[in-house]
Amino acid sequence: MANKLNVLLLGSGGREHALAWKIAQSPWLEKLYIAPGNPGTMQHGENVNINPLSFEAVKAFCIDKSINLLVVGPEEPLVKGIHDSFATDERVNHIIVIGPQQQGAMLEGSKDFAKAFMARHGIPTAHYQTFTNGTFEQAKQFLRTLKPPYVLKADGLAAGKGVVIVNSYDEASTTLAEFFGGKFGDASRKVVIEEFLSGIELSVFVLTDGNSYLILPEAKDYKRVGIGDTGPNTGGMGTISPVPFATSNFLNKVEEQIVKPTIHGLKSDGIPYCGFIFIGLMNVNGNPYVIEYNVRMGDPETEVVMPRIKTDLLEMLEACGNGKLDKVKLEISQQTASTVVIVSGGYPGTYEKYKDIRIDTAVPQGAILFHSGTALRDGKPITSGGRVFACTGRGNSINEALNCSYSLVNCIYFDAMYYRNDIGKDLLNYF
Ligand code: AMP
Ligand code: GLY
């Protein structure tokens, strides 16, 4: 790299705090801005009050501050075309944008597109068909050919609520009617119905420039709100990396059967791609199947993935933007990282915000406190969302990492705070 970089990072969650934490360690960083950021990202750069969906405002800021590299944290600006908007505007088309253009973002923005992509490129995934209200009868017939439970997915983005798994044909048929009726607006006018895959889930993260790729540390996340994996799904209550059941044999299969055909498929379909791909996988008897693609990093997965990457992230991102990812040697720490998410009581349902937060200054060694849903009131931290903190711990075993995470959890106090006390416990038997 010849010059230091001015970087703008879009987003405001724990993922962005973890990205900011890592970017700020780079000797190649001139100045980091985060829009809009949170009190955590503020420790590593300057927060700027710009909505990531206001593309013109983002562009004007990039011109004003001579930004060299734009990192898009969440999917929505990508699905809505922020990268395309930069690529087609000569004032800003020299800026590296990390995150795909609209076409590539369809891998996350449309389940039907993603499934057709996988079918076309022979990537293992659940058997499926796509229906609309006009083919309701055919949808019911297709359901009859499947064994319960039934998996129904709204085609478009539905704030993480677009996947419904039900046990009876009647519930499936009612859900279909709700989806077609516009439960998630246009996002659910098309529905993917697919075979239920039985196994254990994990996620693999890839950074690609469209030709080369780096496979980042994998992670297992804990989606259910309740102890013992009970209750409703959340954005994520905790995560662990590495994943003990992701053996080198399994990860080789992921690379050969999924990562390579995905990158090759994008290329052969003429879809440029510069950015992260988050591949949600089901391990079915030792074989990987794709559950979903996301075109961004995961949250809270980023909060364990970034701490395990030893390589300079800015160097990786700059190489990615310049199509030189093959020149980067990725180094990963052998340590285990774990994250325990502290949420506002009631989440993912209704919960109260704006609670005063007390943080003990004695944060345990190796631990990192990532802010998700916090804000400042008179300079003091308060809660401002469902997921409030991601408490990352590191250690030489899952147990050590978890002890570190939970010691950090014990440093945080706010009214009605809640967290799962069993993150990673199911994995302890693997050693
Ligand atoms: P998605 O939004 O596609 O990640 O789906 C949300 C969750 O639903 C996944 O994390 C899985 O736990 C579950 N899921 C989705 N598709 C399937 C499937 N075909 N078989 C079993 N579980 C699934
Ligand atoms: N933790 C799941 C996600 O970021 O989508």
For 401, counting Cβ atoms within 10 Å of its Cβ (0-12 exposed, 13-18 middle, 19+ buried), the class is buried
What crossing angle do the helices spanning 102-109 and 111-120 adopt, rounded to 10°? 100
The CB of 292 under 6 Å from ligand 1? The reply is: yes
Q: What separation in angstroms does the CA of 249 have from each of 255, 288, 398?
A: 10, 11, 21
Using the predicted structure, report yes or no on whether residue 397 has a pLDDT greater than 70: yes
Question: Is 236 a pocket residue for ligand 2 (Cβ < 6 Å)?
Answer: yes
Q: What is the widest separation between alpha-carbon atoms in the chain?
A: 62
∠ CA(10), CA(11), CA(17), 5° rounding?
105
Q: Given a cut of 60, is residue 240 above it in pLDDT? A: yes
Is the pLDDT at 182 greater than 70, yes or no?
A: yes
Query: Ligand 2 centre from 294 Cα, in Å?
Result: 8
Q: Has residue 2 got a pLDDT over 80?
A: no
**pLDDT over threshold 70, residue 431:** no
Averaged pLDDT, 138-143: 95
Q: How many CA atoms lie within 13 A of 204 on its CB side?
A: 28
| Residues comprising the chain, all counted | 431
| Cα separation of the two ends of the chain | 42
* Ligand 2 pocket test target in 72, 75, 78, 221 with most atoms within 8 Å of CB: 221
Alpha carbons 177 and 237: distance in angstroms, whole number: 31
Helices marked H in 146-188 = 169-180
pLDDT on residue 170: 95
- Domains in the chain, please, with CATH? 5-102 (3.40.50.20), 127-195 (3.30.1490.20)
Mean pLDDT of 14-37: 98
pLDDT tens string 49-71 = 999 999 999 999 999 999 999 99
Q: How far apart are CA 22 and CA 310, in angstroms?
A: 10
Please check the confidence at residue 256 and state whether its pLDDT lies above 70. yes
E strands, 16-155, in order: 29-36, 46-47, 69-72, 96-98, 128-132, 150-154
pLDDT band at 188 (very low <50, low <70, confident <90, very high): confident
Average pLDDT over residues 252-257: 98
237 CA distance to ligand 2 middle (Å): 10
Contact 265, 120 (CB under 8 A): yes
Query: How large a percentage of the chain has pLDDT more than 70?
Result: 100
Residue nearest to atom 4 of ligand 2 (CA): 298
Q: What is the mean pLDDT of residues 138-148?
A: 95
pLDDT of amino acid 429: 76
- Sign of the four-CA dihedral 53, 56, 57, 63: positive
Question: According to the model, what pLDDT value does residue 173 have?
Answer: 94
Section 298-306 average pLDDT: 98
Does the pLDDT value for residue 428 go beyond 90?
A: no
What SS3 class is residue 293?
strand
Protein residue with its CA nearest to atom 3 in ligand 2:
298
If you measure from the C-alpha of residue 364 to the centroid of ligand 1, how many angstroms do you get, rounded to a whole number? 35
Compute the distance between CA of residue 193 and CA of residue 144 in angstroms, rounded to an integer.
11
pLDDT (0 to 100) of residue 430: 64
Q: What is the mean pLDDT of residues 367-395?
A: 97
Q: Is 194 in the pocket of ligand 1 (CB under 6 A)?
A: yes
Going by alpha carbons, the residue nearest to atom 9 of ligand 1 is: 291
Cβ(303) to ligand 2 under 6 A? no
Binned at pLDDT 50, 70 and 90, residue 1 comes out as: confident
Computed on alpha carbons and rounded to an integer, the radius of gyration of the chain in Å comes to 21
Q: What is the mean pLDDT of residues 257-266?
A: 98
CA–CA dist 152, 163 (Å, integer): 6
Indicate which ligand has the atom closest to the C-alpha of 233: 1
Instruction: For the chain, give the mean pLDDT.
Output: 96
The rounded Å distance from CA 163 to ligand 1 centre is 7
pLDDT reported for residue 381? 96
* 73-132: pLDDT as tens digits: 999 999 999 999 999 999 999 999 999 999 999 999 999 999 999 999 999 999 999 999
